[in-house]
Amino acid sequence: MEVGVPTTLLANGLALHPIITSGTPVQKERFLRPFAEDKTGDLLACFAFTDVEGGANFDSDDPNAGVRTFARLEGDSYVINGVKHFATNGSGWERKGAHLYTLTTRTDLSRGAKDALSVIAVPGDTPGIRVGKIENKLGHRLTVQPEVLFEDVRVPRENLIGAEGDGIPIITAAFGWTAALIGAACVGVMRAAFEYVLDFARLERRLGSEPIINHQIVGYTLADIKMRIEACRYLTWRACAYLDAHGEGQEIAIMTKVYCSEQAVQAVYDAMRVMGVESYVKDHPLERHLRDALVFPLYDGGNMGVRRRQLHGILSAPGYDSMIIAEDREFPFTKEMAGSRRAMTGATAS
- For residue 238, what are the contacts with CB-CB under 8 A and spacing of at least 6? 252, 256, 325
Residue 119's DSSP bridge partners are 104, 161
Q: What is the dihedral of CA 5, 102, 346, 137, to 10 degrees?
A: 40
Residue 129's DSSP bridge partners are 150
Q: CB atoms < 10 A from the CB of 64, how many? A: 9
Answer yes or no: are the C-beta atoms of 311 and 254 closer than 8 Å: yes
**162-174 burial: b if 16+ Cβ within 10 Å, else e:** bebbbbbbbbbbb
Among residues 76, 244, 300, 321, the one annotated as catalytic is 300
Q: CB atoms < 10 A from the CB of 4, how many? A: 16
Q: CB atoms < 10 A from the CB of 36, how many? A: 9
For residue 143, the SS3 value is coil
Answer yes or no: are the C-beta atoms of 129 and 149 closer than 8 Å: yes
Catalytic residue status for 300: yes
Listed residue (299, 270, 272) closest to 288, CA to CA = 272
- For residue 200, what are the contacts with CB-CB under 8 A and spacing of at least 6? 274, 275
Answer yes or no: are the C-beta atoms of 258 and 307 closer than 8 Å: yes
DSSP codes joined into one string, 14-74: HHHHHHHHH--HHHIIIIIHHHHH-SSS---EEEE--BTTBSTTTT-S-TTSS---EEEEE
Catalytic residues: 300
